[in-house]
């Protein structure tokens, strides 16, 4: 009985702690001028802010391209290593988890000089960020895909497909991909969330993405930036809630936590 009370106590207190800032954001962004009252101009002016809209478009493109590139690079590699080079599995895992050990702020220091070359060859587009972002999402994507691949009998299925005359492309697209649909979905949504929320690299490499724009807006219009922040948080929340519902439906059993950074895996 006392455990029950304690449980509700914990939920109430922490719930309040987490809801308070969100409520405060709503209150702050709808605060009327000196006259008081409620005023939704900050919310409506989101649609008028060109820089902000462009940043949102950039971030969305980055998110889609990053998850696509991540899948194209990672999935075939992982399948290949699983089937043909199991000895390299440790190495691949190590490489994929490496970005967890290097803070993004440190990555910037190392990569800044490299990016002057990227800019030189590919032009000064924010989309060149996908190269670093792919590296950033590797640990999370790897873990999501790994749990998906481990759950299916990859060897038997691919050998069956091969013996029936399928090429490797067919195996990947029509055997492996449907088998790891859930994992692919959660890996890409993770990548999307990560890219939409990324600030460190974009800001220090001077590319105007969503988070950079929010930060900049904060310097001139607090209410507007807080309104956008709240909108972004709620959007991400909706996205993840939908994901958890989807994943919960596709894989009831042995559902690896889609968002756990290196929780069960052991990087060594």
Secondary structure element (H or E) that encloses residue 8, with its range: helix 2-29
Q: Please tell me whether residue 62 binds other proteins under the rule CB under 8 A.
A: no
What's the farthest any 2 CA atoms get from each other in the chain? 77
H or E, element range at 175: none
11 binds other proteins (CB under 8 A): yes
- Judged by CB under 8 A, does residue 208 bind other proteins? no
47 Cβ contact partners less than 8 Å away, ≥ 6 residues apart = 53
Q: Is residue 71 near other proteins by the rule CB under 8 A?
A: no
CA pair distance 212, 198, nearest whole angstrom: 9
Q: Which stretch binds other proteins (CB under 8 A): 22-30, 34-42, 75-83, 118-126?
A: 22-30
25 touches other proteins (CB under 8 A): yes
Residue 170 contacts other proteins per CB under 8 A: no
Dihedral pair phi/psi, residue 113, rounded to 5°: -70, -35
Binding string to other proteins for residues 238 to 267, with x set by CB under 8 A, is what?
--xx-xxx--x--------xxxxxxxxxxx
Contact 133, 67 (CB under 8 A): no
Q: Which of 16, 102, 150, 160 binds other proteins (CB under 8 A)?
A: 102
The DSSP 8-state label assigned to residue 174 in this structure reads I
**Half-sphere exposure (Cβ direction) of 143: Cα atoms closer than 13 Å:** 23
- Pick the binder of other proteins from 32, 86, 103, 178 (CB under 8 A): 103
Is 32 near other proteins (CB under 8 A)? no
In the block, tokens 């914990």 appear at 10
Binding site for other proteins (CB under 8 A): 3, 7, 10-11, 14, 17-18, 20-25, 27-29, 100-106, 108-110, 112, 193-194, 196-200, 203-204, 211, 214-215, 218-219, 222, 225-226, 229-230, 232-233, 236-237, 240-241, 243-245, 248, 257-268
């Amino acid at each position: 009985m006392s455990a029950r009370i304690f449980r509700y106590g914990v939920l109430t207190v922490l719930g309040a702690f987490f809801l308070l800032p969100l409520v405060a954001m709503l209150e702050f962004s709808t605060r009327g001028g000196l006259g008081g009252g409620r005023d939704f101009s900050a919310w409506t002016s989101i649609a008028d802010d060109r820089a902000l809209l462009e940043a949102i478009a950039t971030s969305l493109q980055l998110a889609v391209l990053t998850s696509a590139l991540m899948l194209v690079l990672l999935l075939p590699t992982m399948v290949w290593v699983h089937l043909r080079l199991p000895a390299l599995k440790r190495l691949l895992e190590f490489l994929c988890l490496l970005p967890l050990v290097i803070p993004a702020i440190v990555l910037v220091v190392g990569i800044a000089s490299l990016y002057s070359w990227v800019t030189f060859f590919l032009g000064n587009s924010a989309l060149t960020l996908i190269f670093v972002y792919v590296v950033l999402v590797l640990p999370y994507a790897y873990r999501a895909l790994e749990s998906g691949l481990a759950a299916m009998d990859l060897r038997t299925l691919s050998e069956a497909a091969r013996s029936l005359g399928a090429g490797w492309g067919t195996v990947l697209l029509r055997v492996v991909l449907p088998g790891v649909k859930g994992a692919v979905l959660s890996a890409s949504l993770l990548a999307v969330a990560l890219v939409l929320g990324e600030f460190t690299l974009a800001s220090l490499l001077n590319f105007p993405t969503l988070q950079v724009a929010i930060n900049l807006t904060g310097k001139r219009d607090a209410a507007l930036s807080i309104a956008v922040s709240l909108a972004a948080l709620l959007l991400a929340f909706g996205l993840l809630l939908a994901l958890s519902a989807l994943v919960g439906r596709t894989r009831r059993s042995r559902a690896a936590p889609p968002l756990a950074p290196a929780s069960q895996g052991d990087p060594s």
